Amino acid sequence: MANVAIIGAQWGDEGKGKIVDLFTHDADVIVRYQGGNNAGHTLVVNGKKTVLHLVPSGALHAEKLCVIGNGVVVDPEVLIDEIRALKAQGHLANDEQIRISEQAHVIMPYHKLIDQARERLRGEGMIGTTGRGIGPAYEDKIARVGIRFVDLLEEDTFREKLERNIQEKNFYLKAILKEKALDFDQIHDSYCQFRDQLKGYVTNTGLLLDQKIRAGKRVLFEGAQGTLLDVDHGTYPYVTSSSTITGGACSGSGVGPQHIQQVIGISKAYTTRVGSGPFPTELHGPEGETLRREGAEFGATTGRSRRCGWFDAVGVRHAVRMNGMTGIALTKLDVLTGFKKIPICTAYRYEGKTIDEFPASSKVMQGAKPVYEEMDGWDQTLDNVRNFSDLPLSAQKYVKRIEEVIGSEIILVSVGPGREQTILLKNPFEK
Ligand code: IMP
């Protein structure tokens, strides 16, 4: 019996929603440990689409406990709306099903305002953030001025912290960002209402998880974004502000590393990215358009169209090593149907040198050119394939070659958005 972490191996949007939902059947507890409502996980169940931003994907299964860990930054208004929408669909009948860490930080209106104003001022050099206040909320956490749920719950602590923060942020907003000042009373009143609606969910989730693990319950750690957006190991500064990797699952949930036995990376059979930043295999012509159209590559959170390109083994290899991945779920293989040739990027070229490892330098990464190995494509639709051996031979070879160049076993291949459109080769929970 294993506890499993599911982590994006690329720049996010790898199809984690579907895979987490699939493995949720084998888990008792599902934990979000980083990020916030910058994430968007699309689940398609019985043809019905549900997009979750904050609530862990287990919410669609009545008996699964959903934990929002201490490493998550929570916009309370968004969480309340999401819970309300899920309840309206008949989910979350039992309020005990969702638990929020008392140590999770709260996203405040000034975080969103600062995020958006900074992006406007950056102009060409913008990061392309989701504008949800994620970065500024994590900044406050690290600067030790953030407001946690436990602070929000204590009336005097909340008032004191908010007063101090509003004073500082208003100065910054007006003098530096040329924005209007925010009103203390308005924010205080609305956040007191949010507190009243959410306080029943707030608890010591680290302790709760420990109790569940001791009781033999199986935990699924649900990553958001992806390894290449990790604040340390991604394409800095074009990254998100949290630790998206396995290590982040421990610090962001308060669970020790010995309790995570399996780490499953999710990777598309090609590559996408939203927002700015280097992307060596990006396709700017008709092939990129085809991937976008066939893969419906539009953001679940912001609706932005995703940049598309060929599979980048340098990035995924880096993710395999950085996370200690024990297996990879390869998603959206069906989208590649119809291409005569499918290149795999196995290395980069920069100033006459071949680079096999993911470079730390933003300059090198921006100038890196992909070294491709061409694989044969296939024409058959894969939508109804349920066994690996029923895949066209060239699709099998493509998957096997990816396995070799990234140095990790592929344990699942996804051939469509539906739960049933899956070729499961190994179940990590049954290790
Ligand atoms: P932030 O997380 O809103 O600060 O955005 C920082 C970068 O991460 C931007 O390039 C975003 O487009 C990207 N990003 C954030 N969340 C996601 C996600 O869930 N999927 C893909 N990219 C994301």
pLDDT at 45 over 80: no
Output the CA 302–ligand 1 centroid distance in Å. Answer: 10
The stretch 388-413 carries a mean pLDDT of: 98
Is 275 a pocket residue for ligand 1 (Cβ < 6 Å)?
yes
Pairing state of beta strands 202-203 and 341-350? unpaired
pLDDT at 431 over 70: no
Indicate the CATH number of 4-104+205-262 among 2.60.40.10, 3.30.70.1290, 3.40.440.10, 1.10.240.10: 3.40.440.10
Query: Comparing C-alpha atoms, which of 311, 241, 247 is closest to residue 273?
Result: 311
Which residue's alpha carbon is nearest to atom 15 within ligand 1?
A: 38
- Contact status, residue 188 vs residue 159, Cβ threshold 8 Å: yes
d(CA 37, CA 105): 13
d(CA 293, CA 344): 20
pLDDT at 49 over 90: no
Q: Identify how many contiguous H helices and E strands the chain contains and give both numbers.
A: 13, 20
Percent share of the chain, pLDDT over 70 = 99
Q: Which ligand 1 atom is the nearest neighbour of the CA of 13?
A: 20
Q: Which residue is listed with tokens 């933003």?
A: 362
pTM: predicted TM-score of the whole model, two decimal places: 0.95
Average pLDDT value over all residues in the chain: 95
User: Which residues are registered as beta bridge partners of 146?
Assistant: none
Q: Which fold has domain 265-430?
A: Adenylosuccinate Synthetase; Chain A, domain 3 (3.90.170)
* CATH class held by domain 107-198: mainly alpha
The stretch 295-311 carries a mean pLDDT of: 90
The stretch 117-123 carries a mean pLDDT of: 94
Q: Where exactly does CATH 3.40.440.10 map onto the chain?
A: 4-104+205-262
For residue range 1-14, list pLDDT tens digits in order: 689 999 999 999 99
Q: Which ligand 1 atom is the nearest neighbour of the CA of 274?
A: 12
pLDDT at 293 over 80: yes
Element (H, E) at 106: strand 105-106
Tokens standing for residue 12: 């996010």
d(CA 63, CA 113): 38
For residue range 62-85, list pLDDT tens digits in order: 999 999 999 999 999 999 999 999
Is 32 a pocket residue for ligand 1 (Cβ < 6 Å)?
no
pLDDT at 300 over 90: no
Q: Which residue is listed with tokens 């602070």?
A: 151
Is 132 a pocket residue for ligand 1 (Cβ < 6 Å)?
yes
For residue range 171-221, list pLDDT tens digits in order: 999 999 999 999 999 999 999 999 999 999 999 999 999 999 999 999 999
Output the CA 11–ligand 1 centroid distance in Å. Answer: 8
Output the CA 299–ligand 1 centroid distance in Å. Answer: 10
pLDDT of residue 57: 83
Query: Comparing C-alpha atoms, which of 2, 7, 4, 42 is closest to residue 321?
Result: 7
User: Which residues are registered as beta bridge partners of 267?
Assistant: 330
What is the pLDDT confidence band of residue 50, given thresholds at 50, 70 and 90? confident
Q: Where exactly does CATH 3.90.170.10 map onto the chain?
A: 265-430
- Contact status, residue 228 vs residue 319, Cβ threshold 8 Å: yes
Q: Which ligand 1 atom is the nearest neighbour of the CA of 8?
A: 20
- Contact status, residue 3 vs residue 221, Cβ threshold 8 Å: yes
pLDDT of residue 302: 78
Which of 84-93, 214-223, 382-391, 407-416 is predicted least confidently? 84-93
DSSP state of 181: P
pLDDT of residue 303: 82
Q: Where exactly does CATH 1.10.300.10 map onto the chain?
A: 107-198
Q: Is 13 a catalytic residue?
A: yes
Q: Which ligand 1 atom is the nearest neighbour of the CA of 242?
A: 2
For 324-350, the DSSP string reads T-SEEEEE-GGGGTT-SEEEEEEEEEE
E-only strand ranges, 215-290: 219-222, 262-268, 271-273
Output the CA 392–ligand 1 centroid distance in Å. Answer: 35
Catalytic residue among 28, 41, 105, 111: 41
d(CA 333, CA 429): 23
Query: Comparing C-alpha atoms, which of 318, 238, 320 is closest to residue 274?
Result: 238
For residue range 331-353, list pLDDT tens digits in order: 999 999 999 999 999 999 999 99
Q: Is 188 a catalytic residue?
A: no
pLDDT of residue 41: 80
Percent share of the chain, pLDDT over 90 = 88
